[in-house]
Amino acid sequence: MKLVIDNQLVTLSDLRAAWHDGVSVTLGNDARYRIAEANEFIDEVVAHGDTVYGVNTGFGQMAQVRISNDELAHLQENLVRSHAVGVGEDLDDEIVRLVMLMKVVALSAGFSGVRIELVEALCALINHEIYPRIPSRGSVGASGDLAPLAHMAGALIGVGEVRVQGNLVPAPIALKAAGLEPVRLAPKEGLALLNGTQVSTALALGAVFRTENVLSAALMAGAMSSDAVQGSDTPFDKRIQSVRGHGGQIAVAGVLRELMHGSDIRASHLECDRVQDPYSIRCQPQVVGACLDVVRHVCSVLQTEANAVTDNPLVFVESQAVLSGGNFHAEPVALAADYLALAIAEIGALSERRIALLIDSHLSGLPPFLVAEGGLNSGFMMAQVTAAALASENKGHAHPASVDSLPTSANQEDHVSMSTYAARRLHTMLDNVADIVAIELLAAAQGIDFHHPQTSSPPIEDVMKALREISPPYTEDRSLSSDIRRVAATIDDGNYCRYAESVLPSMCT
């Protein structure tokens, strides 16, 4: 995707495309004008000798220390070097790409006082697919994502390592190979690069896009399970949804109706004497619909944050002012991530309950544990145990991170958001839910197989065919571990989004 950063907002679909497929970035004329105008004002401030935090002072509790003009570049580079103290596994290139893109967007708004050359250098890294090696741990999401963004900034000045085509390379070597030069930072530029919520926001955006993937697969799995247990589609009737009025519920019920429409299995038991199905079947619109509403809310928050200016201090050229505030505090991202964690956990919890239903012959009407010759074969018995373990693990991960604050920087930063962890842990939860839903897809496909020669709906039969290409019917005991991994990979690749595309926020913008 080619993206021109100028006057328009970056949309969710832009961000999803950049995350999934990559992006090339250029600056529009208006963006270049805004950047230059703010930078000229910073140059005037320095020339005039005014004291401005982070431009010619120390940082944090050392803000009272005045720095001489001949040390201002050294000050900015020292900031980058000293703050690059991240630890833990590296962020994926897809997340790093979003981080850099959103930093370009923020700096291009014209409130940061940096030079055009700096923003163009960051664009060049993106366009050459040079991704700074950013450790994932070490940010509390308060004065911006300082440590991880310092690792990003380090690549610009030729410090640290970068990843090129999946290989770690010293930053100076990668820059030289691409025909690029390390940047010599000017006043305020190190601080502008380090202050900001871009890492927390990128992690949360990646998580919300993955949530769309698993939610879509969970809707398909839920429709398949409903057919496998000969459940009723009456609870998905739009009249029921309309009298409650929640948008997510209405949308999910509509998707479920479409997925089940035309099923011979459903037609075969229209006159059966079952009155009601268990809640994991009957209440899918209410539960998954509420989760969809959470996703929509979180998407709204994150789109705003993706277009936000979150460094400090900020330059206001029209009023000739440099103001120090707190836009770097990532509380909006932390709260959104915590909210999303609840939805992720619930998607997995409901899927696990349907797996338990499928293997229970008393409730499902299917062979015990979905296998012929039960007793000799254990079937899906342990697959449900795995799903239960993962769903239970997610309960712990769903505990809110934003309520935990430890003061930092000698109590100057006395309240922090923990947004980076709040967003990062979502990916562990999503790994778990992808596996849970993969198990349900396999179990539901097995249940539907027992109804042959009756067939399900066209969309479900399409999925059945795809599943059987990577996982044959379960006729006798075998390990399902590799089958689960293969199906989970198709979920994480977004293969099921096309069945729910009309309700997914990043695909409707």
Catalytic residues: 53
Amino acid residing at 286: Q
- Residue 374, burial from CB neighbour count under 10 angstroms (0-12, 13-18, 19+): middle
Phi and psi (nearest 5°) for 297? -65, -45
> What is the spatial distance between Cα 273 and Cα 253, in angstroms, rounded to a whole number?
23
Tell me the DSSP string of 387-424. HHHHHHHHHHHTS-STT----BTTTTB-----HHHHHH
From residue 51, how far is each of 54, 189, 310 by CA, in Å? 9, 16, 21
The span from the CA of 308 to the CA of 332, in Å, is: 12
Q: How many residues does the chain have?
A: 509
Sign of dihedral through CA atoms 172, 178, 184, 188?
negative
Contact 468, 474 (CB under 8 A): no
The dihedral built from the CA positions of residue 431, 204, 115 and 90, taken in this order, carries a sign that is: negative
Query: If phi over 0 gives left and psi between -120 and 50 gives alpha, with beta otherwise, what is residue 88?
Result: left
Q: What are residue 66's DSSP bridge partners?
A: 57
Report the half-sphere exposure of 141 (CA within 13 A, side-chain side). Answer: 30
Asked if 472 contacts 487 with a C-beta cutoff of 8 angstroms, the reply is no
For 119, other C-beta atoms within 10 Å of its C-beta total 26
Residues linked to residue 133 through DSSP beta bridges, in sequence order: none
In the numeric block, the tokens 């268990």 are attached to 278
Identity at 83, one-letter amino acid code: H
- In angstroms, the CA 419 to CA 258 distance is 38
Closest listed residue to residue 4, CA positions, set 117, 108, 132: 108
Q: Is 466 exposed, middle or buried (0-12, 13-18, 19+ CB in 10 A)?
A: middle
Q: Provide the 3-class DSSP secondary structure of residue 272.
A: coil
Radius of gyration of the chain (CA): 26
Please give the DSSP secondary-structure letter assigned to residue 109: T
CA distance 476 to 379: 7
Name the DSSP class of 323: E
DSSP state of 170: E
DSSP annotation of 451: T
**Nearest CA-CA partner of 359 in 439, 431, 288, 287:** 439
